[in-house]
Amino acid sequence: MKTLTALSIVSLFGLTASIAHARDLGPDEALRLHDAGTIVSFEKLNTTALARHPGSEITDTELEEQYGKYIYQIEMRDPQGQEWDLELNAVTGQVLRDHQDK
């Protein structure tokens, strides 16, 4: 029983620690980072995402700082109604993740 309790506490701590490493950035901070040349423009990031799924519509975007890296998250809907989630490195514009929602 002590082992199970210890594992539960460790799991809970790990979950809390991972949540603490992702931080949503507001518009003011995003603008500051863009103006400083730290991240590329949202227009460029959106263009990159739309090129992966031509004809799609962007339904939501979010800029986060995860483990010291700036990640631009994009949700899209393609012409067939399928939803896609993309993550781009906001500094380089590189696509990190592109997967279809189920």
Task: Please say if the pLDDT value at position 9 is more than 50.
Answer: no
The answer, yes or no, to whether residue 66 has pLDDT greater than 80, is: yes
Instruction: Please state the pTM of the whole predicted model.
Output: 0.77
Q: pLDDT-derived band of residue 77, with 50, 70 and 90 as boundaries? A: very high
Burial of 43 (0-12, 13-18, 19+ CB in 10 A): exposed
87's tokens:
């993550």
| Number of structural domains the chain divides into | 1
Buried-state track 75-89, b at ≥16 Cβ within 10 A, e below 16 = bbbeeeeeebebbbb
Query: Residue 89: which domain range?
Result: 23-100
- In this predicted structure, the answer to whether residue 7 has a pLDDT above a threshold of 80 is no
Q: How far is CA 28 from the centre of its chain?
A: 18
Nearest 5°: phi and psi at 37?
80, 15
Q: For residue 67, what is the domain's CATH number?
A: 3.10.450.40
